């Protein structure tokens, strides 16, 4: 494993450890979704944004330049977070570190799962992963970074 990839994995693990929500209501999903829309709109990013708690979709927006294909990517990324309990970017980078890709050997059909950045777990302190915040439309590292930036702002975490 390269030192750069090893450091990236550690950085993502640290993000997930510190970006823990005290609770997550419908109002929280709306506020976080609106924050993401504002960030993406200001930067003219062609993304789709999706926020879920359990199996319920609480927020979804398709911004100019996004397409139905982004919605398909969102579904596949969300499944990765729920299946593996980690961000889709972390799952993909851990696999890449071992020269592997997400496939049937991990019990994940690649037509249904995508270990590409952009889906981040909504984790509660004593409840684990209860939801997912997802962005699709940019290169995977950028999708991930946008979600992390929004969650950091929402939680007022450095």
pLDDT of residue 45: 98
Segment 84-88 long-range contacts (CB within 8 Å, at least 24 positions apart):
85/121, 85/128, 85/129, 86/16, 86/121, 87/12, 87/15, 87/16, 87/117, 87/119, 87/120, 87/121, 87/144, 88/114, 88/115, 88/116, 88/117, 88/118, 88/119, 88/120, 88/134, 88/144
pLDDT, tens digit (0-9, with 9 covering 90-100), for 64-115: 999 999 999 999 999 999 999 999 999 999 999 999 999 888 889 999 999 9
Query: Rounded to whole angstroms, how far apart are CA atoms 45 and 36?
Result: 10
43 near 135, Cβ under 8 Å? Answer: no
140 near 118, Cβ under 8 Å? Answer: yes
pLDDT of residue 7: 96
pLDDT of residue 131: 98
Q: Kindly list the structural domains of the chain, giving each domain's residue range(s) and its CATH number in brackets, ordered by start.
A: 3-155 (3.30.450.150)
Segment 136-142 mean pLDDT: 98
pTM of the predicted model, to two decimals?
0.95
pLDDT, tens digit (0-9, with 9 covering 90-100), for 59-78: 999 999 999 999 999 999 99
DSSP secondary structure of 47-73: -EEEEEETTEEEEEEE-TT--HHHHHH
pLDDT of residue 104: 87
134 near 51, Cβ under 8 Å? Answer: yes
């Amino acid at each position: 494993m390269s030192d750069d990839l090893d450091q990236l994995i550690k950085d993502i693990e640290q993000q997930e450890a510190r970006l823990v929500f005290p609770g997550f209501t419908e109002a929280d999903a709306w506020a976080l979704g609106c924050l993401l829309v504002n960030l993406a709109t200001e930067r003219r990013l062609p993304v789709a944004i999706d926020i879920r708690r359990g199996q319920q979709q609480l927020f979804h927006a398709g911004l100019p330049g996004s397409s139905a294909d982004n919605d398909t990517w969102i579904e596949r990324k969300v499944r990765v977070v729920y299946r593996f309990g980690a961000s889709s970017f972390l799952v993909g980078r851990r696999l890449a570190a071992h020269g592997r890709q997400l496939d049937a050997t991990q019990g994940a059909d690649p037509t249904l799962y995508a270990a590409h950045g952009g889906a981040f777990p909504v984790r509660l302190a004593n409840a684990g992963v209860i939801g997912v915040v997802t962005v699709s439309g940019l290169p995977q590292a950028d999708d991930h970074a946008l979600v992390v930036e929004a969650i950091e702002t929402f939680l007022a975490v450095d």
